[in-house]
Amino acid sequence: MAQLYGLLAEFEQPKPLQEAARRAYEAGYRKMDAYSPFPIEGLAETLGNKSSKLPFLVFLGGVAGGVGGFGLQYLGMVVFYPYVAGGKPLNSWPAFIPITFETTVLLASLTAVIAMIALNGLPQPYHPVFNAPNFASASQDRFFLCLEALDPKFNPAETRQFLEGLQPLTVTEVEHWSDETLERAPAAAS
């Protein structure tokens, strides 16, 4: 059996969505999300999301890359395979800088991409909003605000009324097929 995941309001342009997000937050809604076909500056903050810790992780990745890259060269050239080339000292650190730079950039970039994907909870093939019939346009030309049923302030009738007050194109119910329903589904079919 499908449960109600939330109510989805559809807008034609980003401005009304930005306005709707602001009003929903002011009305006390917290469990909600907005969906748009391109990034909208400041929308995540309007919805009450805190800034991401991603840049800090990238910094850590860069430090690990730099220390690791230099350490690798130091171990190789000074400890494990000491070999004098061009009359330079064994720890000829200026010659180690280019590779240290490259490994710093490499690890910072890898961290950025992996952290972005992981913090976003991707890959995630199933999400309830995909059940909404018009949601395919969220990646093309429509802007959505979804107020979720788990929010303490959520009430099917009142929330619908609130959303309709924001003059959206449509307000649709988003169904959620819980794990339980999915497990029972094959049995029902047989």
Sites for another protein among residues 6-45 (CB under 8 A): 13-15, 18-19, 21, 33-45
Q: Which two tokens stand for residue 22?
A: 């602001």
Which residue in 23, 60, 92, 173 binds another protein (CB under 8 A)? 92
Between residue 68 and residue 87, which ones bind another protein under the rule CB under 8 A? 72-73, 76-77, 80-81, 83, 85-86
Contacts of 106 (CB under 8 A, 6+ apart): 65
Which residue in 23, 30, 31, 54 binds another protein (CB under 8 A)? 54
Question: From the CB of 40, what's the least distance to another protein, in Å?
Answer: 7
Question: From the CB of 126, what's the least distance to another protein, in Å?
Answer: 7
x/- mask, another protein, residues 96-135, rule CB under 8 A, reads x-xx-xxx-xx-xxx-xx-xxx-xx-xxxxxx-xx----x
Q: Count residues contacting another protein (CB under 8 A)?
A: 71
Q: Does 182 bind another protein (CB under 8 A)?
A: no
Which residue number, 73 or 159, has a Cβ lying nearer to another protein? Answer: 73
Between residue 139 and residue 178, which ones bind another protein under the rule CB under 8 A? 139-141
Which residue number, 114 or 158, has a Cβ lying nearer to another protein? Answer: 114
Question: Tokens 């070999």 appear where?
Answer: 83
